[in-house]
Amino acid sequence: MRTPPSGLQASSRGRNLRRTGVTLLVLAAIAATLYLARAPLLGAFANWWVVNEPPVKADAIVVLGGDSFDATRVRRAVSLYQQGYAPRILLAGGMIRRYLSEAVLMKKDAEGFGAPDGALDVVESRAGSTLNESEAILHYVSERNLHRLLIVTSDFHSRRAQIIYAPMFKKRGLEVRIISAPQFLLESQPWWKNREALKAMFFEFVKLPDTLWERYQRRDST
């Protein structure tokens, strides 16, 4: 036969239940506040996440691989070239097939947007990540004695690109500026309502810890 709880046990159990109830109410209030304030909070986050530094005169404009279907990165780079910010555009892209690289396709896009063939350099590599691609670009520009670069990438990718390129290139005495191509218009649109934007941001968050760990492991060699 079960012994009924003593007065002390019942009092303790009551306090625990009240404490649990208060905790749940606080959590519910926090969740409700975050939900109601999601628009300004997510908008402010996008303003921080997107890196779009003012362009300056540079030795070259570098377009990172992984451009959108509409070639927004290449379009932004060609616009900078036409405004006279740099005499050359470096198009970086990995191999899609044994006989074809993304960089070659990007070159066709750049020519279509009005950039002359003589101003376009193709930087092909077997890079499987932004970090590996940065090493290929670093090798390419170091051989050609380039010192200041404008790095063009998509808005959702710009923060991770800065984390990778800024310290690595600064260590080699190179100056870089990250220029954002407005693929999802994160800073001015409710991007969290766009399925493709949400997916892109999700993958950026998934890749970020791996990028930071890889950079840490290679800190002495890059």
Please compute, for residue 48, the number of CA atoms within 13 A of its CA located in the half-sphere on the CB side.
6
- Provide mean pLDDT across the span 104-113: 95
Q: What is the pLDDT of residue 2?
A: 56
- Tell me the C-alpha distance between 122 and 9, whole Å: 76
Per-residue b/e over 175-187, b at no fewer than 16 CB within 10 Å? Answer: ebbbbbbbbbebb
- Tell me the pTM: 0.78
CATH number of 52-217: 3.40.50.620
Both tokens assigned to 194: 């766009």
Predicted confidence (pLDDT) at residue 163 exceeds the cutoff of 70 = yes
Please compute, for residue 12, the number of CA atoms within 13 A of its CA located in the half-sphere on the CB side.
5
Q: What is the pLDDT of residue 31?
A: 58
Domain ranges, ordered by start, for the chain: 7-36, 52-217
Q: How far is CA 6 from the centre of its chain?
A: 60
Q: What is the pLDDT of residue 127?
A: 67
How much helix, strand and coil, in percent to the nearest 5, is found in the chain?
Answer: 55, 15, 30
Q: How far is CA 106 from the centre of its chain?
A: 19
pLDDT in tens, 48-95: 888 999 999 999 999 998 888 899 999 999 999 999 999 999 999 888
Chain length of the chain: 222
